[in-house]
Amino acid sequence: VSIMLIGTVAYMMLQLYMVNFPDEDVRYYSSKTLGDSISLFVAVLVYESVNKCFLSLGVVIQADVLRFGQFFLWFVLLQAATAWLAGVLWDEETGTNDPEEEAQWRTRELRLRCISGMLAHIAGFAGISAWS
């Protein structure tokens, strides 16, 4: 137990060192890797909790049908959220050099990466469950 605790503390110290590293590229990629790891683990938790709820409600429905339905639901939700966040569902005029508009587009891009990455992981887990 003590070795595990020391290893965890050493890992956290290394992670903090890499996020605050003097080189900008190292900071960027370590933050990106950390964010992707957190997204993956949160997606596992969300998928498992929703899967348990679906399976507890689906006593009447066959388990395979429920798994494929859940995969279809997550996949459609992923596509709809990505299209909405990317601005595909409406026509906006772009191309101005307004700094406020550029900040809005950066915020939209950040939301798009976050939500679609999470939903892609969840849809992937549902697909693995449906086809296994």
Local confidence pLDDT in tens for the 132 residues of the chain: 889 999 999 989 998 899 999 999 999 999 888 888 888 999 999 999 988 887 777 666 677 788 888 899 999 999 999 998 887 876 566 556 677 777 888 888 888 888 998 999 999 999 998 888
| 3-state DSSP assignment of residue 90 | coil
| Cα angle 121, 30, 127; round to 5 | 10
Residue 101 dihedral angles phi and psi, to the nearest 5°: -65, -40
